[in-house]
Amino acid sequence: MTMLPKPADTRSATQDGTAPSASAMPARHVKHKHTPSARGQWPAAPGHTVQFYADDDFLMKQIGKFVYEGLTAGEACIVIATQNHRERLEQYLAGEGLDLIAACEKGMYTSLDAALTLAQFMTEGSLDDETFRRVVGGIVAQAAYGHGKGSQRRRVRVFGEMVALLWAGGDHAAAIRLEEMWNELRESDASPPFSLCCGYPMSDFASEAHEQAFREICATHSQVIPDERYTALANAEERLRAITLLQQQASSLAGATAGRKAAEEQVRISEHLYRHLFEAATDGILVVDPATQVIIEANQVVADLLGSTPAQLLGRNLLRVGVFPDQESAEAVWRELEEQQLARREALEIHVGNGQVRCVEFVGNRFQVNSHEIIQCHLRDITDRKRAEEAQRQLEARKDAFISMASHELRTPVTSLKAFTQVLQRRLRKQPDVDPQVLQVLDRMDEQINRQARLIRDLLDLSRMEAGYLALHETWFDLDDLVRETLDTVQPTIQTHTLRLEGATHVQVYGDQERLGQALINLLTNAIKYSPRADSVLVTLRSDREWAEVAVRDFGIGIAPKHQRRIFERFYQADDSHTSTYPGLGIGLYIAQTILERHGGRMWVESSVGKGSTFHFGLSLLRQGGPSESDSGHSDLQPGSAEVS
């Protein structure tokens, strides 16, 4: 049974830093049970090999073979390794039948602690070349020459883990430098030749960042031995296959890495854009954690609004930073965010200090970002908009008040003028020798007064409509009769056009006869005014079970599509340049439409420039006691559903 030197013995032989005593031990003196089945990994000529490994057992076997081959060939072996590796190696060699005690005594086997040996030539964390040469060079020389001066020089094998220690400690540059120092020592004339093997665990290189350093380590060695996953392969074919597989894995990994890098770059760009938007936004933005109500992001705008800084807002509770007027309304907003994922407040008043109040529109959204829930709140300062709206409202109110007052003031004198004119007309007509021209002038005066009176009535109606005071005096009446009577009233006042009537509705409707007549007059007046070259206006009546419709068609200038929807707005006139040619106030259609709407009816237009326009007004018969409302049969006369000629 072979005796092993106790690990403690080995340590004591080396910890003082001096080279252990060694003496020649010819190969024949080394006893062994059998030759290990090494596959000849180790170079015959002295070289510098690196052995990568994944598993300690594999390393021990490899180094065991390295040392075993050396010792049985009469070479001196030096092991500078961790305590654990040294012990396991000795067990392995003993298991192979080597008498290590004898080998140690003869200086054939030297075992040193890697950390302690390294410490001898590291000063203040840096490698010291000089000391390395002296210490490590001395160990090698002693192994090569033994004690006796002039004794025959032995070949030397060294297994070292000092570089691996430096690497594992993160000092990659030092590890590579130490590899170089070993090379320099090997090439130096002062040192006996030796072959060197270093062991590195593959797990230490499992990062993309190590690629360059890994290449450098390989470059410092004359032979690189892959870890057991490769070495264990039985034959050249298997190895080629393994290499091919590795190449494929490497290229797919490179592709995946490039894809990942592109995705990371995209994420970086998005983040950058988001940050830029966040900071450059004119809205105030708060990002809140829904679990805690705590603010996790705040931009400068919101900080300014709340009289704070973004940093001061972080970590504070959204409900208590002064966005909401009181706790109750803050909690109501939070409930909406939880239940509907959305909360909106039109106008929150925020006290920004110095007694100033800003009006803010608040919108909060709850959503998921990368499986994290967040709440993003936008606060838009609408103080200026609100002020402008208020100023506009006041202006409109003043304008309405003025129109109302002016039309009231005008109505009395115009009514008197009308009365006086009628008195004059009556008296003069009774005189036999009256100048007919005087009567003509009086008629024209009467016409102008009527026009004036209509204008004033329109203005008064406008005021009433704006104030919501347009009273309706509703009764049942015959729609066809109303239209006929209205045409009969208007026709005598115009000389240029003939008003033609076609069709009939045959319906009774419930409504304010006078107001509906007024709406029709407004349409007729426009039809005449805007068709100066035509000589007729066509009024068509039709109805079905649900709908009665009056259409007023002219053959005049028509209305461009862009104006068609807006002409029903008050004071809107299709073309400014027309105003001198077609005088008006731009309220006739507004009034007509409002009257129709008050009756549950509708008004719409079809028109084509240069050809003329048709204004339709429709009244629902369902509302007026016609067929029951539950009878929802579709009417062909609904706006836009059928052309009415």
* Positions that interact with ligand ADP (CB under 6 A): 526-527, 530, 554, 556-557, 559, 567, 572-574, 578, 584-590, 613
Judged by DSSP in three states, 221 sits in: coil
Strands 194-201 and 223-225: unpaired
Select from 507, 447, 445, 509 the least CA-distant residue to 472. 509
Q: Structure tokens of 538?
A: 């066509």
CB of 557 to ligand ADP, least distance (A): 5
Q: Contact, 442 vs 425, CB < 8 A? A: yes
CB of 313 to ligand ADP, least distance (A): 53
* Closer residue to ligand ADP, CB minimum distance, 10 or 573: 573
Catalogue the E-assigned strands of 372-504.
372-381, 475-478, 498-503
Residues 6+ apart with CB under 8 A from 630: none
CB of 497 to ligand ADP, least distance (A): 12
* Closer residue to ligand ADP, CB minimum distance, 192 or 556: 556
Q: How many CB atoms lie within 10 A of CB 566?
A: 12
DSSP assignments along 276-294, one per residue: HHHHH-SSEEEEEETTTTE
CB of 560 to ligand ADP, least distance (A): 9
* Closer residue to ligand ADP, CB minimum distance, 143 or 603: 603
CB of 408 to ligand ADP, least distance (A): 21
CA 244 → CA 251, 256, 258, distances in Å?
Answer: 11, 18, 21
* Closer residue to ligand ADP, CB minimum distance, 379 or 552: 552
CB of 469 to ligand ADP, least distance (A): 20
DSSP assignments along 479-543, one per residue: HHHHHHHHHHHHGGG-SS-EEEEEE----EEEE-HHHHHHHHHHHHHHHHHT-TT--EEEEEEEE
DSSP assignments along 538-603, one per residue: EEEEEE-SSEEEEEEE--SS---HHHHTGGGSTT--S-TTHHHHS---S-HHHHHHHHHHHTT-EE
Strands of 602-608's sheet in order across = 498-503, 536-543, 547-553, 612-620, 602-608
User: What are residue 365's DSSP bridge partners?
Assistant: 342, 376
* Closer residue to ligand ADP, CB minimum distance, 25 or 587: 587
* Closer residue to ligand ADP, CB minimum distance, 572 or 604: 572
CB of 444 to ligand ADP, least distance (A): 21
CB of 559 to ligand ADP, least distance (A): 5
Q: What's the CA gap between 506 and 479, in Å, rounded?
A: 7
* Closer residue to ligand ADP, CB minimum distance, 110 or 522: 522
* Closer residue to ligand ADP, CB minimum distance, 477 or 572: 572
* Closer residue to ligand ADP, CB minimum distance, 574 or 621: 574
DSSP H/E element including 122: strand 122-123
CB of 451 to ligand ADP, least distance (A): 12
Q: Structure tokens of 209?
A: 């960042």
* Closer residue to ligand ADP, CB minimum distance, 556 or 618: 556
* Closer residue to ligand ADP, CB minimum distance, 133 or 457: 457
First to last CA, the chain: 124
* Closer residue to ligand ADP, CB minimum distance, 144 or 567: 567
CB of 562 to ligand ADP, least distance (A): 12
Q: What's the CA gap between 367 and 341, in Å, rounded?
A: 7
CB of 534 to ligand ADP, least distance (A): 11
CB of 401 to ligand ADP, least distance (A): 22
User: What are residue 296's DSSP bridge partners?
Assistant: none
DSSP H/E element including 464: helix 436-467
Cβ-proximal residue to ligand ADP, closest one: 584
DSSP H/E element including 408: helix 383-430
